[in-house]
Amino acid sequence: MNQWYESLFENYGLKYDNEVFVHGTTGECDFIESEIRFNKQFRILDIGCGTGRHSIELTSREYHITGIDLSDSMLERAREKASALKMTIDFQKQDARQLPFNHDFDLAIMLCEGSFPLMETDEMNYQILQSAAKALKPAGKLIFTTLNGLFPLFHSV
């Protein structure tokens, strides 16, 4: 049986690309490029890649990308989009808490809550960070976004 965080995204692949927050992809990738000083030799791991928006944009900019996600429907949509653009991107179904990589990547990205902090416990989220760190080369970099838990508290009254 799927966990709630797996079931949540089962039928979300087609709807995801119409969400408001996906319109910042170009700017987000501009930021990523500036952070890695436009080094096209970087191997990039897109953790929680969803429908592949960052993977596809960075591939179009000639970076080497591996995208991982736990959702079959999101990965299916990512593969469809890449195929339509005649791109070959390594999209894999993986659990971000137990990635099979060991010092393989120069950069790992987790954007728009692509796995972190979607887990039920701090320990599970910590496993994601540990797994991402293990996937990185010793001088590798992790770029991620996370929700601000205080925002809804301060703005709910």
29-84 per-position pLDDT tens digit: 999 999 999 999 999 999 999 999 999 999 999 999 999 998 888 899 999 999 99
Q: Is the pLDDT of residue 22 over 70?
A: no
* Number of domains within the chain: 1
For residue 133, the tally of other CB atoms under 10 A from its CB is 13
Q: Is residue 108 part of a domain?
A: yes
Confidence (pLDDT) at 31: 96
Output the domain CATH number for residue 47.
3.40.50.150
Q: Is residue 157 part of a domain?
A: no
Confidence (pLDDT) at 16: 61
Nearest to 145 by CA among 116, 122, 121: 116
Q: Is residue 145 part of a domain?
A: no
Note down the domain range covering 73: 4-9+25-34+41-140
Q: Is residue 52 part of a domain?
A: yes
Q: Is residue 105 part of a domain?
A: yes
87-128 per-position pLDDT tens digit: 999 999 999 999 999 999 999 999 875 555 555 667 778 898
State the Cα angle at 45 between 41 and 49, rounded to 5°.
135
Q: Is residue 150 part of a domain?
A: no
